[in-house]
Structure formats: C-alpha cells, structure tokens
Structure 1
Amino acid sequence: MNLIFVRHGEGEHTNNLPDSLRMEHPSLTNKGREQALVLREKLPLRESDILIASPVVRTLQTAALWSEQVACRKFVHPYISPRIFPYREGARTLPCDKILSQKDVQQLFSQFLLAEEQNEMLWRNGVNTIAGPAFCKAASSFIEWCKTLEASRVVIVSHDGTITAYRQYVMKQVLTREDFLEETGVYEIQL
C-alpha cells in the first residue's frame, strides 16, 4: 500500500500573521483553491483510491476540489488533524487549527464519510497536543485502519506538522520544521 500525504492548499490563516492564526476554521484562499485544482494534473486521483482528509475546513476544501470529478471513496479522520511539530508539552491548539465537529463535517462536506473512530476525545480535540507516545499509538491505529480499506493507494490531505510527524513515525528518522512540505506538496511512503 502507498500512503500519499498531501498538504492542503494555502489557507486564510497564513495571511496577515500572526493575527490571522486567531481565525477559527479558515478557508482556502483563491490561491489555495487554484492549488487544489492543479492537483488534478499533478497527482490525478483514481476511482480505486481512498482519499482521507483531516476534519478541518482547508483540508476538506482541498480534498473536495481535487476529487470533485472522481468517484473515489472519501473519508474524514481525526487522527490526521493538525499536529504541533515538534511536539511541545503544554502547547495549546490555536483557533486556526480547531477541528470541525462530526455534525459540521456531515453538513458542510456530505460527500465525505466519517471514519468509524470511537475515540470521542480525538474527534473533539484531534492529535494536535497529545503527547508523543499517545500520538504514536494513534498513528499506528490510523495506519492499521488504512490497511483494512484494501486499496493500493491511500491519499491523505493533512497539515505540515501532521505529515512531518507521520513521516518521522513511519520512517524512524528525526525530522525538523525544515522538512515541512509546501502547500499541496506531496510525500509518498510505500508500506
């Protein structure tokens, strides 16, 4: 199975820093929407693919625009929500990284199925500030869930810190913020 991580397109929260980080549920900018559409040529989706997005507006918008013309299976999963990287004990989630409720996801992005994850705390708070061992447990659980989907390509639209944390976990190598992907950047891992 190939896990293909894709960073979301440019979000409104990246304009007018640091004040814009206080914005709740920022959408894609016009540039971010264009970046999502370019993914159709850069990394075309196939009907046999599984597309999984973080429960955040900008990732769901990226995934929705990119996959609009492809009937692949689409999911939302809290284990790929925003992640502070590197992890810092006592760090708090910024308003721009607050995740959508399951109800809001269903109302705003009905083309996506909610992953049948029973951990209510992670559906409320995501993986942003959980300690390293808890993140590793969640990452392992998420990867095992991906395997149950029995697809050769699982495409994940997530966030710079989350993608880097998963890369570090799977590849067993130390990474830094210098390893962050650019907007709509792609990183593939063969499992």
Structure 2
Amino acid sequence: MELIFIRHGAGEHTLHPPESLQIRDPHLTDQGIEQAKQLQEDLPLTEEDMLLVSPVRRTLETVAIWSEGIQCKKLVSPLVSPRMFPQNPEWSTLPCDRLLSRGLIEEEFPMYTIDDTTPETLWTDGINTMPEELFKEHAEPFLSWCKSQERDRLYIVSHDGTITSYRQLISGKRLTRKDFPKETASFKLKL
C-alpha cells in the first residue's frame, strides 16, 4: 500500500509569523485556495479514493476544494492533526493548531465522516505535544489500520510536523525541520 501525505494549502497563520501563529482557527489564504485547486490537476481523485484529514479548518478546506465533485471517502481523524517537530516539552499548542470539535466539523463540513474509534483525549488534546513514545503507541496501530483498508493508496492531508513525524517513524531515518514539506507538497511512502 502507498500512503500519500499531503500538506494543506497556505493558511492565514503563515502570513506574518510569529504573530499570525496566534490566530485561532485560520482559514486558507487566497494562495492556499489556488494550491488546493491545483491538487485537482496534480493528484486527480476518483470515487474509489480515501482521504484521511486533520480536524483543522485549513486541512478540511484544502480537501473540500481538492475533492469538489468527487464522492470519495473523507475521514477526519485526530491521529493526523498538528504535531510539533521536533518535540519540546517546554512548548505548548499554538492557537492556530487547536482542533475543531466534532460537532463543529459535522455542522460546517457535513461531507466528512468523523473517526469515532479514537479516544476522546485525542479529540481534545490531539498529538501536537505528545511525547515521542506515546505518539509511537498511537501511530503504529493507526498505520496498521491504514494498511488494513486494502487499497492501493491512501491520502493523508495533514501538517508539516505531523507528516515529518510519520515519515521518520515509517522510514526509520532521522529527519529535521529542513525535511518539512511545502504547502500542498506530497510524499509517497510504502507500508
């Protein structure tokens, strides 16, 4: 199976850092909307595709634009929510990286299915500041679940730190912030 990790389009929180990182629930910028539209050409979807999406507005908006008119499966999971990379126990979750509630997602993005198999603490706390060993305890069964979907490919629309964390776990290679993907860039990994 091939996992295709895609970073969301440019969000408002990236416009004027570090101040803009304090924006709670940032939308895509005009550039981010154009990047999401470009995904329609670069990675065209079919009804057979499955997308796993972070419960953050910018990823949900990216997928809504990318998958417009395609009735593929879209599952929202906190297991692909924002994650700091590298981890630092002194850092806390920024306002721009707080997860949307399941209720808000259901109300504003009814075309998505909510992952109701993950523990409630993941929906409230996410994986952002989770210590590396605990992340691994959640990530390994998640990757096994992905593999059990018996698909040729599975798309995961997430964030730079999250993608890099999963890439490091799967590849066993030590990565750095220099390995972060750009907006709407993709990485293919075999499971």
Q: What's the TM-score, normalizing by structure 1?
A: 0.97
CA contact (8 A) 1:75 1:114 kept: yes
Kindly, what percent of the aligned residue pairs are identical? 48
Pairing 1:63-142 to 2, within 5 Å after superposition: 63-142=63-142
Taking only aligned residues, the RMSD between alpha carbons, in angstroms, comes to 0.9
Q: Does 1:171 align with 2:171?
A: yes
Shift of 1:180: 0.4
Q: Which runs of 4+ in 1 moved over 3 A?
A: none
Distance change in 2, residues 1:118/1:158 (3 Å): closer
Most deviating of 139-148 and 13-22: 139-148
SS class of match (2:16): coil
SS class of match (1:85): coil
Q: One-letter code of the match for 2:140?
A: S
Counterpart-to-counterpart distance in 1, 2:118 and 2:158: 20
Shift of 1:186: 0.4
- Matched with 1:21 is 21
Question: How many residues align structurally?
Answer: 191
SS class of match (1:65): helix
Shift of 1:90: 2.9
Q: One-letter code of the match for 1:107?
A: E
SS class of match (2:89): coil
Q: Cα deviation per residue 1:141-190 (whole Å; 9 max; x = unaligned)?
A: 21122123222111010000000000000000000000000000000001
- Matched with 2:155 is 155
Q: Cα deviation per residue 1:75-132 (whole Å; 9 max; x = unaligned)?
A: 0000000000001113200000000011111111110101122311111111000000
Counterpart-to-counterpart distance in 2, 1:21 and 1:181: 18
Q: Does 1:188 align with 2:184?
A: no
